[in-house]
Amino acid sequence: MPRRAPRAVLLRCCLWAGLLLAGPAAQALAPDESVRLQATGSVEVAFSPWNDPEEAILAAFEEARELILVQAYLFTSKPLLQGLLDAKARGVKVEVLLDADMNRPGSYTVLPELLEAGIPVALETRYTNAHNKVVILDPHSPSRAALITGSYNFTRAAKTSNAENLLILRGNPALVRVYLENWKRHKDEAQILRKQDAEAWRRGKANGRKSDRTASD
């Protein structure tokens, strides 16, 4: 059975108030455009430190059957790392995009473990901050496509001491397709890493915020 966060108030609501229907196929965004989609499906909400967004994410990982695409600013959480490794072990394809500066060599990041597990990782170097916190789940499945987003970083501090919000949106394949196209655009710009690059991240320590950068989760 999928996990559910203990004592977490995970709010679920249905969104049926339609905006402007963008059509069944999501279009790539032009530089000056936004996209409006029909609101449909369900929304799961969790707030830290009162709820447990991490457990909600892990439960969503367990629901995936084909593909998990991650776009993260910080990634130090060992439980979330393990959730991705477990998904890969049961045959789910996993790929990860990370901010280059916040996951640079010497910093506390799960990047080496991802590479060593054979999970493709790419670093975003174009932006001052690649600040997205996004997970796309089974985007090609009309019934299972889901999206995770919000302010929540993949860190222990985000779970225990930060004020964060998390949304898990299910039942809106058009929305997932829009995020998928954006994820692909970012991947095309990113620097692909190789397994042998993992050792660089083990050397030294980097200065940074104690809650997220200089303490392992």
Q: What is the pLDDT of residues 126-148, one digit of tens each?
A: 888 989 999 999 999 999 999 99
Whether 10 is covered by a domain: the verdict is no
pLDDT for res 3: 55
In this structure, are residues 216 and 201 in contact, taking their beta carbons and an 8 Å threshold?
A: no
Give the range of the structural domain holding residue 78, as residue numbers without chain letter.
Answer: 39-202
More confident residue, 216 or 168: 168
Residue 69 has pLDDT above 60, yes or no: yes
The residues annotated with a catalytic role in the active site are 131, 133, 138
Give 41-67 as a 3 state SS string.
Answer: CEEEEEEECCCCHHHHHHHHHHHCCCE
pLDDT for res 29: 55
pLDDT for res 121: 95
pLDDT for res 198: 78
Residue 125 has pLDDT above 60, yes or no: yes
Confidence of residue 35 (pLDDT cuts 50, 70, 90): confident
Whether 133 is covered by a domain: the verdict is yes
Q: Which residue from 204, 195, 184 is spatially nearest to 104, judged by alpha carbons?
A: 204
> Is the pTM here over 0.85, yes or no?
no
Which residues partner with 67 through β-bridges?
93
Mean pLDDT value across the chain = 82
pLDDT for res 130: 83
Whether 19 is covered by a domain: the verdict is no
Residue 47 has pLDDT above 60, yes or no: yes
Whether 216 is covered by a domain: the verdict is no
Whether 114 is covered by a domain: the verdict is yes
CA separation for the pair 163, 159 (Å, rounded): 8
Count of domains for the chain: 1
pLDDT for res 58: 98
Whether 5 is covered by a domain: the verdict is no
- What CATH number is attached to the domain comprising 54? 3.30.870.10
Whether 82 is covered by a domain: the verdict is yes
Whether 18 is covered by a domain: the verdict is no
